[in-house]
């Protein structure tokens, strides 16, 4: 099955970067929000918004490949993530175009 369900969807790279100061200072809140973050990410995976992703080895944070209609849609979706909403994680969203090979799911 091809990943892009219709020709209106595009691919985006979402870089998640931790707010190190907040991560160190509010351990209990971080743990509570981390659970909500994991549940939210799994929902986006189940909804086929997040195609794949994970941590970046040797660096803080992670990288996600998502499908959506616009950068604004991606930003709005991720602004609902409890860790992002409470500024424990920062996001950087970029449109991604596959030029070599093809991506199938």
Q: Where are the domains of the chain?
A: 10-96
Tokens encoding 81: 């993530």
CA–CA distance, 68 with 64 (Å, rounded to integer): 13
Rounded to an integer, the average pLDDT of 9-36 is 92
Identify whether the C-beta of residue 77 lies closer than 8 Å to the C-beta of residue 16: no
Specify the higher pLDDT residue, 38 or 100. 38
User: Tell me: the pLDDT tens digits for 46-99?
Assistant: 999 999 999 999 999 999 999 999 999 999 999 999 999 999 999 999 999 988
Residue 4 scores a pLDDT above 60 = no
Q: What is the CATH topology of the domain spanning 10-96?
A: Alpha-Beta Plaits (3.30.70)
pTM to 2 decimal places: 0.84
The stretches of the chain forming alpha helices (DSSP H) are 20-25, 27-46, 71-78, 82-85
């Amino acid at each position: 099955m091809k990943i892009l369900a219709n020709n209106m969807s595009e691919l985006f790279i979402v870089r998640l970067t931790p707010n190190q100061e907040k991560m160190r200072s509010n351990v209990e809140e971080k743990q509570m929000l981390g659970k909500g973050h994991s549940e939210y990410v799994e929902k986006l995976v189940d909804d086929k918004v997040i195609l794949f992703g994970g941590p970046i080895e040797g660096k803080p944070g992670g990288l996600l490949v998502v499908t959506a209609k616009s950068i604004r849609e991606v930003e709005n979706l991720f602004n609902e993530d409890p860790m992002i909403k409470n500024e424990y994680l920062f996001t950087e969203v970029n449109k991604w175009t596959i030029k070599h090979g093809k991506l199938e799911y």
